[in-house]
């Protein structure tokens, strides 16, 4: 193992170190945080790209911006927040990861995430798969017809779309209607069994938001606003994101 010596002088500037200090609660002890290891023990990305949350935080605290900007580990992190839950000081490491992602040139961010973000901006369905609102309607209606015809006891099952005034507006991961349409049916049955007043919408129906994962704040907000407007336009009381 190669050990790199790093000399940090008083004049060293670091956006990441500053961010760490902002995220520390009052009275937090950064040195204690670096010896705990609880964050790394429960992290699903620990060991990937030779990195873990504790090491990432240490690098940030030491002002090693160049290394942080080069590590692909920031794209392995799932932003699941396990590190925050187990951290005695509740340091928001995912915030640092997100901050690092934003520092990458857009064209160098992971191709798959970037493409999914861009695809979601094509139309108001917000689907990362590129499925339009009418595509979604057609799939839902076809699957619903099949279930009614082939599954005894579900002849009256409903999957409403654009139902004005419904209490709940549901989003759906757009991979399901495109590649696994039958996976939508259990949700419909649950909503029917509990007697929920719900609807899908042809606008803003896709649940995922890859622009968030890509740290594209502008388009993340744009997608959320499209979805929120779809809920408001139908007059629904609650927005349920199934993602």
Shared domain for 94 and 163, answered yes or no, is no
Question: 159 lies in which domain range?
Answer: 111-240
Instruction: Evaluate the CA torsion angle 20, 91, 214, 110 in order and state its sign.
Output: positive
Alpha-carbon distance of 216 to 197, in angstroms, equals 34
Element (H, E) at 240: strand 238-240
Same-domain check for residues 84 and 137: no
DSSP element (H, E) containing 55? helix 53-61
Number of folded domains in the chain? 2
pLDDT digit of tens for each residue in the chain (243 aa)? Answer: 444 544 544 455 677 777 777 777 665 566 667 678 999 998 999 999 999 999 998 888 888 888 888 899 999 999 999 998 998 888 888 988 998 999 899 999 999 999 999 999 999 999 999 999 999 999 999 999 999 999 999 999 999 999 999 999 999 999 999 999 999 999 999 999 999 999 999 999 999 999 999 999 999 999 999 999 999 999 999 999 987
Q: Which residues are within 8 A (CB) of 9 and not within 5 positions of it... i.e. 6 or more apart? A: none
234 plus 142 within the same structural domain: yes
The pTM (predicted TM-score) of the whole model is: 0.83
Query: Distance between CA atoms of 147 and 237, rounded to whole angstroms?
Result: 28
Question: Residues 133, 54: one domain?
Answer: no
3-state helix, strand, coil in the chain (%, to 5): 55, 5, 40
């Amino acid at each position: 193992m190669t050990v790199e010596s790093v000399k940090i002088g008083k004049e060293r500037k670091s956006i990441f170190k500053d961010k760490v200090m902002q995220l520390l609660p009052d009275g937090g002890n950064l040195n204690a945080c670096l010896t705990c290891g609880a964050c790394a023990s429960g992290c699903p990305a620990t060991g990937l790209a030779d990195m873990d949350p504790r090491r990432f935080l240490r690098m940030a605290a030491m002002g090693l911006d160049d290394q942080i900007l080069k590590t692909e580990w920031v794209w392995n992190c799932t932003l699941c927040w396990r590190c925050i839950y187990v951290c005695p000081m509740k340091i928001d490491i995912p915030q640092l990861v997100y901050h690092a992602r934003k520092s990458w040139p857009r064209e160098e961010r992971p191709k798959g995430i970037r493409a999914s973000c861009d695809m979601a901006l094509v139309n108001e369905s917000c689907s990362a798969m590129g499925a339009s609102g009418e595509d979604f309607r057609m799939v839902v209606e076809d699957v619903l017809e099949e279930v009614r015809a082939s599954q005894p006891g579900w002849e009256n099952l409903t999957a409403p779309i654009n139902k004005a005034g419904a209490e709940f507006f549901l989003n759906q991961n757009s991979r399901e209607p495109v590649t696994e349409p039958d996976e939508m049916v259990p949700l419909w049955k649950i909503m029917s069994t509990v007697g929920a007043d719900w609807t899908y919408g042809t606008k803003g129906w896709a649940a995922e938001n890859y622009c968030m994962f890509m740290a594209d704040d502008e388009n993340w907000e744009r997608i959320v606003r499209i979805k929120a407007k779809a809920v408001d336009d139908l007059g629904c009381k609650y927005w349920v994101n199934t993602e």
